[in-house]
Amino acid sequence: MMTGNLNVGRHYHTASILCDGKVFVTGGYNSGYLESTELYGPVTGSWTMSANMSAKRYRHQASILCDDQVLVTGGCCYIDSAELYDSSTGNWTRIGNINSM
**61 in any annotated domain:** yes
Q: Which domain holds residue 76?
A: 14-97
Which pLDDT belongs to residue 1? 63
Average pLDDT over all residues of the chain: 93
Please check whether residue 60 is in contact with residue 77, taking contact to mean a CB–CB distance below 8 angstroms: no
Residue 8 lies in a domain: no
Query: What distance in Å separates the CA atoms of residue 64 and residue 87, rounded to the nearest whole number?
Result: 10
pLDDT at 101: 43
* E strands present in the chain: 14-17, 23-26, 37-41, 46-50, 61-64, 69-73, 81-86, 91-97
Overall domain count for the chain:
1
50: helix, strand or coil: strand
- Residue-level pLDDT at 87: 94
Residues in the chain predicted with pLDDT less than 70, given as ranges, are 1, 100-101
**Residue 3 forms part of a structural domain:** no
Q: Does a structural domain hold residue 1?
A: no
